[in-house]
Structure 1
Amino acid sequence: MQLLKDGGYHTVSFDQIFDFVEKGTPLPEKPVCLTFDDGYLSNYEIAYPLLKEYGMKATFFAIGATVGNTEHYKDTEFPITPHYSYEQAKEMSDSGLVSIQSHTFDMHQWAPYEPGDRVRNNILRWKDETEEEYTEALTADFSKSREELEAATGKPVNVLAYPGGQFDALSESVLRSLGVKATLTIQPGKAKLTEGEPECLYLMNRFYVQPDTTEEAFLEWIS
């Protein structure tokens, strides 16, 4: 965040991105969209205070089934990396700096902790699942994710980050039919926004910042 500030970059929300693409509303100079996946409590305890300190915006993508899980994975006895609660999500959303969007409700499961072999590691269709069955499953999952997040924050949920970056033509078709306005992959690269072309909002690329990402590499990505 200090690098962004020093470089004259400005963080933007998806609402600003939508306004640019749909209405031609100008974005600030050198725009950057910060995203955080999975809904970890560290988003609330570490990232959110830094966003407030720097006056920056970000979008957090929550997995509905693990919201508020701080000790155990869902209803099991398996340990989990703590996740923020809906109350904490609302606090962050109310700040105007954070948008809480969907990382599915329960299509980012951790196989070793799930019973049986019907596990959804990601949003993709099972090999033995018909298109109709899959469409019904994804519709139910995203609808529940959106319903719970909107109830918590009072804000629209219309962006989805694909778990593990996995997607296909059917997942895209279903999500678009449900009113999702943007989808995100983890394929490296800059998102290319074009005024008047909503298609550019789908399968948006992202750079994956990791603990070993150097400042030089980061600056090269965004320059």
Structure 2
Amino acid sequence: MVSLHALPFPVSLAQSPPYKQQIAILTYHHLLPESLNLSYKTDEAVLSVEMFEKQMKYLHDNDYHVLSLDELQAFIKGQKKVPPRSVVITFDDGYKSNLIYAYPILQKYGYEATMFVITHMLPTSPQPFNANKLTMVSFAEMQQVRDVFSFQSHTDNMHKKKDAAPYLIAMPEQDVKNDLLRSKQMVHARFFAYPYGMYNSRVVRLLRETGYEMAFTTNRAYARQTLDVYRIPRFSIYRSTTMKAFTEIVTGQYK
């Protein structure tokens, strides 16, 4: 792994680009220490804990402000101006690794994050963690980490595909609406992340009808004021994302 000292980053604050009223929303999935990652070495969605620590340290050392989704919502609606170096941190799916590895790092730096969970997959009580399997956070554990994490919806049972089309698009309207309502009620969700980042106008309408206030895609772009709150872009951070690429994203230089 390349040392941070070998890179031309972190940039000094004086080198940072001028404030452009734009925010990088970062998306993570599963975290594992390099030494324990025996089963997911080629999975781009599995980031090393070591790299996650470096990324969070970079944000801390360069005076970044991590926004809550409430602050992001107020910014997009033009109700709030945020500091120039602001980001949002999100996690998709609801893996227990986020609690074991991300939670203490985020807590150390005083950062908050949002986890978009697939509610039907969440057990009631904690399950043993196994680095070679995908263990989900339990409802009981969710209550213990709310100083860092808020929990929002990634559907109840529609994070899957039918003939290559995501369930949100392929399934009957009432089934989709019922799923959105179940997930919303289970975690008191106000915000939503599209599985696979895919959606259509019907899904957006159903989100409005069921009371969701914002929805997040996987389009790689910055969040800006007056953005459509049901089509908010995010930057997925992958195993192959270098520190140079990460700093380009958070400093507003991604094109």
Q: TM-score range by the shorter chain?
A: 0.7 to 0.9
2:236 alignment counterpart? 208
Query: 2:167 and 2:190 mapped to 1: Cα distance?
Result: 16
Q: Which amino acid aligns with 2:233?
A: N
Aligned-residue sequence identity (percent) comes to: 29
1:37 alignment counterpart? 92
1:148 alignment counterpart? 186
Indicate yes or no: 2:158 matched with 1:107.
yes
Query: 1:123 and 1:80 mapped to 2: Cα distance?
Result: 24
Secondary structure at the residue paired with 1:160? strand
The alignment of Structure 1 onto Structure 2 pairs a total of residues equal to 191
2:199 alignment counterpart? 167
Give the number of the structure whose residues are more often strand, by fraction. 2
Residue 119 of structure 1 deviates from its aligned partner by 8.2
Indicate yes or no: 2:169 matched with 1:125.
yes
1:217 to 239, 245, 255: 245
Contact 2:197 2:217 in 1 (8 A): yes
1:86 alignment counterpart? 139
Secondary structure at the residue paired with 1:201? coil
Query: 1:189 and 1:29 mapped to 2: Cα distance?
Result: 17
Give the number of the structure whose residues are more often helix, by fraction. 1
Could you tell me the TM-score, scaled by structure 2's length?
Answer: 0.69
1:115 alignment counterpart? none
Secondary structure at the residue paired with 2:152? strand
Change (3 A) 1:123 1:183: farther
Query: 2:59 and 2:121 mapped to 1: Cα distance?
Result: 31
Secondary structure at the residue paired with 2:223? coil
Query: 2:94 and 2:164 mapped to 1: Cα distance?
Result: 18
